[in-house]
Amino acid sequence: MRTPSYLFIALLIGILIGAGGTLLIGGSTSHDQPLPDREIIFQVSTIDALLESVYDGVLPVSDLSRYGDLGIGTFDSLDGELIMVDGVVYQARADGSVVVAPDDLLVPLAAVTFFDPDITVPDFSTGSFAEFEDYIDGTIRSENLKYAIRIDGVFSEVTVRAPHRQERPYPRLIDALADQYMATHTNISGTAVGFRLPEYVAGLNVPGYHLHFISDNRSVGGHIVDFSLESATVSLDETLTFMMRLPSDGGFIDADLTGDLSDELAFVERPGQE
C-alpha cells in the first residue's frame, strides 16, 4: 500500500498548491476585498456633501489603495488637499507643508482610480488651465465619458491652495475656503493628477477639470487654481465604470443635498473662472 499512499499525499499536496496558487494569482474569498478592477473611478461621498460642510472622515487613507493609485480628495476636518500619486497619498496642508498622509487618517471625500493611460500627449506646453482644457477637450473621444488625468513635467507657473483644518461647528465650504492658504510657484517640476468629468456628475463630483499638484521633491502641493506648462507629458485614462460609496453616518445622513450648488461649486473650485 505504500505507492497509493504516496499518490494520495502527492494528490493532497497538489490540491493545496493549486488552491493556494489560484488565490495568490487573483482569487479572493472576502467580499470586503474584491479583486481590483482597474477601470473604475471610485469615489467616497459627494461634492455637494462637502459644500454642505460634511467634513467628517469616513474612509481611512489605507483603504484608498484598494481602489486606485492616483486621485484627489481632502481629509477629515477639511485638513488640507489629498494628492495620490503612484499609490502614495500626500497631504498638502494650509501651513504650506506636504506630508505622506498617515494610514489611519480618515477621508470625507476622495476619488481615485488605477491609472492606465489610454491617451498620451508628449512635449505639451500651455499658457493656462483654460488653454489646457480647450486642447484636451479636442483629444478625448466623448464629453460623456470620464477621464483620469496625469501631467508630469515642468510647470512654468502653478497656483495651488489648501484649506485650513476646520473646527466644529463646521462652516459651509464656501466660507471655510475664504481664508485658505494659497501660493504660486514658478519653474517647478512636478505632477498634477485629477479628473475630467461630464456635466451630468453635478451634485456628485466636479464637472469638467479638477486637478491637484505635487512637486517632484514632494515639498509643495495643493488644489490647482491655475497653471502653465513649459514642457510636460499629459496622460488620460478613459474610465467607463464609476463607483460611489456613501457615508453611512455622520453629517451625510442629515445634510440637505437637494439644492443646485453648481454656482457655489464653480466659485470654490476655480475662483475667478466660474
Residues forming contacts to a copy of itself in the complex (CB under 8 A) are: 3, 6-8, 10-23, 25-29, 31, 34-40, 46, 48-49, 141-146, 198-204, 240-248, 252-255, 257-258
The CB-of-90 to a copy of itself minimum distance in angstroms stands at: 26
| Nearest-approach distance from CB 228 to a copy of itself, in angstroms | 28
Cβ neighbours for 48, distance < 8 A, ≥ 6 positions apart: 203, 204, 255, 257, 259, 261, 265
Q: To the nearest whole angstrom, how small is the minimum distance from the Cβ of residue 98 to a copy of itself?
A: 31
Name the minimum Å distance from CB 227 to a copy of itself: 26
Type of residue numbered 193: V
Do 195 and 148 contact (CB within 8 A), yes or no? yes
Grid cell for residue 59: 474612509
Min dist CB 253 to a copy of itself, Å, is 4
d(CA 234, CA 137): 13
Which is closer to a copy of itself, CB of 171 or CB of 198?
A: 198
CB nearer to a copy of itself: give 167 or 256: 256
DSSP letter for each residue of 95-130 = TS-EEEPPTT-EESEEEEE----SEEEEEEEESSHH
Nearest CB to a copy of itself, comparing residues 100 and 141 = 141
The four Cα atoms 127, 133, 139, 142 give a dihedral, to 10 degrees, of 180
Dist. CA 178–CA 151, nearest whole Å: 28
